[in-house]
Amino acid sequence: MDCCQHCESIEHEFDFNNARLELDDYHSHGPQSTTRILVSALIEQGVADKTLLDIGGGIGAIQHELFKAGIRYATNLEASHAYLQVCQEESIRQGHGDRVHHLHGNFAEMHNLPKADIVTMERVICCYPDMDTLVGLACQKARHLLGLVYPHESWWVKLGVGWLNNIKYRFKHDPFRVYLHCTEQVKNLVLTSAFRQVYYRKSGAWQVFVYEKSDGPT
C-alpha cells in the first residue's frame, strides 16, 4: 500500500462516527485502560512544564490528561481529519485549546516538526506498515520521554488482532490493515537511539512502554 492509499484508509477507518463514539465513551468512563496506564507512567517520570508531541492523538485523551498533570504545551498530529476536529473541539471545551497546535498529516513524512520533551504513540505503530521510519522519527523528536503502546505477540493476538481483523477488512474491500510489528525490533530501534526503558506493562492485547533519553533532556 502506497502513502496515498494508506492515508485514505486511515480517513475511512477513523471517521466522525467513530470519533464521536470514542469521545462519548471518554466523557462517560474516562480514558481507555492503556491511556490511563501510559499517562500514569509518564507522570511518574515527571511531566510538569513539559511539551508534548502526541502522534496519532485520536480524540486527545493523552493530551487532556497530561494537561491536568501540568504539561505546558502540546502538538497534536493526526492523520484523520475527523479525529483532529473532535480533538480540537474537546481541547477548547476543557480550556486548553490555546495551548495545543493541531496538525493533519503523515508523521513519517513530517521531518521538520520541532522536538518535544515527551513524544507519545498510542495504538499507532500497528496502523502503519513502515515501523522503522515511524519509530525512528519519534525517537529523533523526543528530548526526554517516549511512550509507546502497541500489540504484543501472543498467539491469540496474532490470530484475533492481526489475521482475523485483516480478513474482515479484505472481505469488506477496506484497504486498512493491522500490522503486528516485532516487539524486539521496536525495542532495539529505540534502545539504539540513546533511550533506556523505564516502564513496561501488558494490558489485554496491548503492551505499554515508556523510555527515557539516556542522557536526560536536551
Domain ranges of the chain: 3-213
- Alpha-carbon dihedral of residues 63, 89, 56, 31, nearest 10 degrees? 50
The tens digit of pLDDT for each residue in 29-59 reads: 999 999 999 999 999 999 999 999 999 999 9
Closest CA to 61 of 135, 165, 149, 160: 149
Q: Is the pTM for the entire model greater than 0.85?
A: yes
What integer pLDDT is reported at residue 194 of this predicted model? 96
What CATH number should be reported for the domain whose range is 3-213?
A: 3.40.50.150
In DSSP terms, which residues pair with 213 in a beta bridge?
Answer: 195
The tens digit of pLDDT for each residue in 137-181 reads: 999 999 999 999 999 999 999 898 888 888 988 888 888 889 999
Instruction: Report d(CA 41, CA 190) in Å as an integer.
Output: 18
- 3-state SS of 5-30 is HHHHHHHHHCCHHHHHHHHHHHHHHC
In DSSP terms, which residues pair with 163 in a beta bridge?
Answer: none
Counting residues of the chain whose pLDDT is more than 70, the rounded percentage is: 95
Upper half-sphere CA count for residue 123 (Cβ side, 13 Å): 17
What integer pLDDT is reported at residue 4 of this predicted model? 47
